Structure 1
């Protein structure tokens, strides 16, 4: 009975509002896409059972609000993450420029034990828009940024058409699993309130 252990892997999706974070998550978990846009308030998550090397684990994917007024709500959800997915819209330069801010903010708030080697994956979403004629961020530029941050895996995706979504999340799951195996402890459940000691605002402890 003890031989079969189910592992919970926590994945956080970050990026500007409107880049398609919720749509990517829904396409991966439910194989559905909705053209209706509704901003995420706070954070929400979906789970998916995944098998790797005869081992069953649950991917818990957290979709966080991209709007600044809700970002403070996301801090507690960053803790205990096993992988962070950074998403931008290839048709919006600002969403790409903000990737660094999202990455830095995550590392500050999540406080991973080994920030230099914490697994990130970058998704350039909405490659389907206008047949690719509207894009302003080239694949070359995005890959160069990923290389400069320690060779972060990069995928160009379309949540609408399902392009590269499955492939991207396979890599996300593998990176999350690898990170989880390096952790010293394995909590049975994610308890947001108890994953770490509370820190005072501005405390660098």
Structure 2
């Protein structure tokens, strides 16, 4: 019988500390949000299986620390990425201004084979804060920046409310697929996940 093919797609989330990178990832993968802020130390990742047409993909989403003292960890985490997500807080002009630094840092550290066409996605997070009244970065300004960098896809989200998070990550997964630097994992049709000595069916009904 043919084996099911699963492809690993590596996604890196970058942005200043506190813009909501971890919250976005948790909302997408676990549908959960926490009001308790805890800085990411070094890097962390979550995985989520997604299906496109008849193929199964594992999205491996890396959440890296926004603090500068951890940026030296970058090379190992950035290498082999299929898509890079740049996140800023629409209520913080500084976090928006730093997008360019994060983008340049990624291209230097990751050294993608085709930097001109490497897929980025920009997310403006925290649109729910204060009903939008404390917002300082306009959608027009953000879209203009994305256009100047080669028409980067742009999404405005609320990790807290779950607004546009699913849509943004669908775009991220699609762009990661287009990058072509994918690693394939072959899975047998039957996977013995139990330690029981009971005889197991040879058919997989998953």
TM norm. shorter chain > 0.5: yes
Change (3 A) 1:94 1:200: farther
**What secondary structure, in the 3-state scheme, does the structure 1 residue paired with 2:77 have?**
helix
Task: Please give the per-residue CA displacement for 1:88-134, whole angstroms capped at 9, x wherever unaligned.
Answer: 00000000000000000000000000000000000000000000000
Deviations 1:11-53 (A, max 9, x none): 0000000000000000000000000000000000000000001
Deviation at 1:4, TM superposition (A): 2.2
User: Structure 1 residue 201: deviation in Å?
Assistant: 52
Partner of 2:201: 200
TM-score, length-scaled by structure 1: 0.87
User: 2:15·2:99 contact (CA, 8 Å) conserved in 1?
Assistant: yes
Shift of 1:167: 0.1
- More relative contact order in 1 or in 2 (CA 8 Å, sep 6+)? 2
Shift of residue 202, structure 1, vs aligned partner? 54
- Where structure 2 has 5 or more consecutive residues not aligned to the other structure, the ranges are none
Contact 2:6 / 2:185 at 8 angstroms: preserved in 1?
no
Contact 2:65 2:71 in 1 (8 A): yes
Q: CA deviation at 1:74?
A: 2.5
1:103–1:203 Cα change, 3 Å: farther
Q: CA-to-partner distance for each residue in 1:149-195, whole Å, 9 max, x for gaps?
A: 00000000000000000000000000001113699999999999999
Q: Secondary structure at the match of 1:192?
A: coil
Residue 109 of structure 1 pairs with residue 109 of structure 2: yes
- The offset of 1:199, in angstroms, is 49
CA RMSD of aligned residues (A): 10.7
Cα distance in 1, alignment partners of residues 117 and 202 from structure 2: 25
Whose Rg is larger? Answer: 2
Query: How far apart are the structure 2 equivalents of 1:41 and 1:174?
Result: 28
Determine the structure 2 residue equivalent to 1:79: 79
Query: How many equivalent pairs are there?
Result: 205
Q: Give the ranges of 4+ consecutive aligned residues of structure 1 lying more than 2 Å apart after TM superposition.
A: 1-4, 180-205
